[in-house]
Amino acid sequence: MTTERKVAKFFNLTDENWMKHSNPWSVWTRYSVLPLIVFAFWSRIWIGWWCLVPGIVSLLWMFFNPIFFPRPSSTKNWASRSVMGERVFLNRDTIKIPEIHTGGIHTILNLISSSGMILAIWATVTYSVWGAILGIALAYLGKSWYLDRMVWLYNDMKEKNEEYKSWEY
């Protein structure tokens, strides 16, 4: 079982929920999660332990966002294809993907994104504005580039697999 499949299982991404997550509103609003979490825990300087309330709400938003929106009216857009590409990528242990998509670039991009998240967390603890901005920017640079690779993967695989092709409408 791939790591991505374990994450999808944690977020309850069933076939139907994957299609809900492919709604562009789900993809684009998910970009709000890290700044909301940083701001929520940063606010401890002003509101003390009450910062846990927006912090927990932000974490709940991260968890429920993929299933919050309805299926999109069309999946012929970058955001939807990025999610469908993620789904193809997590299936790589059962349906082979082209070699060009199996290199270490995904690991590098996830390391960039993870480094940004770690920097953002450190910056939140130490109240470093520039660290938080740089951390969030790095996290989103890595994630956006990763999602762009997923669009490429989906576009390559949809003509090779009928199920994948059926996701686009």
Compute the distance between CA of residue 49 and CA of residue 88 in angstroms, rounded to an integer. 42
pLDDT at 66: 87
Q: Contact 13/66 with Cβ under 8 angstroms?
A: yes
* Domains of the chain by residue range: 3-166
Compute the distance between CA of residue 1 and CA of residue 4 in angstroms, rounded to an integer. 8
**Quick one: tokens of 161?**
């697999």
Give a three-class secondary structure readout of 37-105.
Answer: HHHHHHCHHHHHHHHHHHHHHHHHHHHHHHHHCCCCCCCCCHHHHHHHHHHHHHCCCCCCCCHHHCCCH
User: If we measure between CA atoms, which residue out of 50, 64, 56, 78 comes closest to residue 10?
Assistant: 64
Please compute the mean of the pLDDT values over residues 27-53 and round it to a whole number: 92
- pLDDT band for position 3 (cuts 50, 70, 90): confident
Is the pLDDT score of 6 beyond 90?
A: no
Distances (CA, A) of 104 to 4, 109, 110, 138, 169: 15, 9, 10, 18, 31
Give pLDDT tens digits for 53-84.
999 999 999 889 988 999 999 999 999 999 99
- pLDDT band for position 9 (cuts 50, 70, 90): confident
What is the pTM for the complete model shown? 0.87
Compute the distance between CA of residue 94 and CA of residue 2 in angstroms, rounded to an integer. 10
Give pLDDT tens digits for 106-137.
889 999 999 999 999 999 999 999 999 999 99
Compute the distance between CA of residue 126 and CA of residue 109 in angstroms, rounded to an integer. 26
pLDDT at 93: 87
